[in-house]
Amino acid sequence: MWKLFVRPLPIFVIGLFTCSGVWAISNGVPDGNAHPAVGALYIDFDGNGTITGDELLCSGSYVGRTKDGANDAFMTAGHCVAFAVSNNIDRMYVSFDTRAFDPNGPVGVIASVAFHADPSFGHDNGNAFDFGIVLLPAGSVIGIQPVQLPPQEYLETLLHAAAIKNLDVESVGYGTVPVFNQPHGPQFTFDGVRRAVRTNIKGLTKSWVLYNENYVATGGGGTCFGDSGSPQYITGTHDVISITSQGDPLCRATEQNTRLDTTFARAFYGRFINLP
């Protein structure tokens, strides 16, 4: 299930993906301004020219100026961008407000210049190529230090050193909050607050980092609907190792998030930004 946030109103949203969905941070805490590079990604669903909190689609993070200096770059999941393309959306919007669902609308909304998904997204069942980027006007992101992508095969190095499961990681995003143990089953609430949570790595594949978001078992948590594209930080740094992609429908088991240290991640993002 993709962790895309789907509004209940527009019918064209329903059934876009066979596993469509978007999540919020599970068992997290309000982030405040601890991770200012994490932003909310919107679409003007009702076409009225005004962005409101309930038009949030995904999350993402600022990755700095593009190589040619022409744009600021916002990293998100490929399925978020593919959603816009599939529905003939010509503009996406980003805000770094700590509360995406402010009653007066998010603060500092920036309109995109262009957006791109990896051309291989959706064509390989073994590798989602779930990479997306939103290009913003140059200089529109002010006073925010960009996140840093990892060197090539960084996680493989940790795996071979038997250090990967001990890596201290936290997810940060704007998604819905799952509430369990309810009379009629799990409930999902959305207030648009940027939240953070420590999360535990279970394993690694050629394209994904597997995380255990069962907070009862780990004491941590994970992502949920609306967190698609949000980053997983190495705690206490600006270094990001993966972006939120997909997981189980209840946001309480295993999530599969897209690695950023692979040759195919670097092939896509290296078209736009300088990489370590």
pLDDT digits (tens, 9 = 90+) for 90-122: 999 999 999 877 667 788 999 999 999 999 998
Host H or E run for residue 212: strand 208-212
The span from the first CA to the last CA of the chain, in angstroms, equals 31
Q: What is the pLDDT of residues 154-172, one digit of tens each?
A: 999 998 888 888 899 999 9
Tokens read off for 142? 């002010």
Q: Is 144 exposed, middle or buried (0-12, 13-18, 19+ CB in 10 A)?
A: middle
- In this structure, are residues 233 and 239 in contact, taking their beta carbons and an 8 Å threshold? yes
What pLDDT sits at residue 128?
Answer: 85
Higher pLDDT, 102 or 69: 69
Segment 173-195 mean pLDDT = 74
Domains of the chain: 1-276 (2.40.10.10)
Residue 192: which pLDDT band, with cuts at 50, 70 and 90?
confident
C-alpha to C-alpha distance for 236 and 34, rounded to whole angstroms: 10
Q: Find where tokens 């789907």 sit.
A: 6
Separation between Cα atoms, residue 47 and residue 209, nearest integer Å: 37
The span from the CA of 156 to the CA of 262, in Å, is: 9
CA dist., res. 187 & res. 170, Å (int):
23
* Mean pLDDT, residues 7-29: 39
| Percent of all residues in the chain with a pLDDT value above 90, rounded to a whole number | 56
pLDDT surpasses 70 at 12 = no
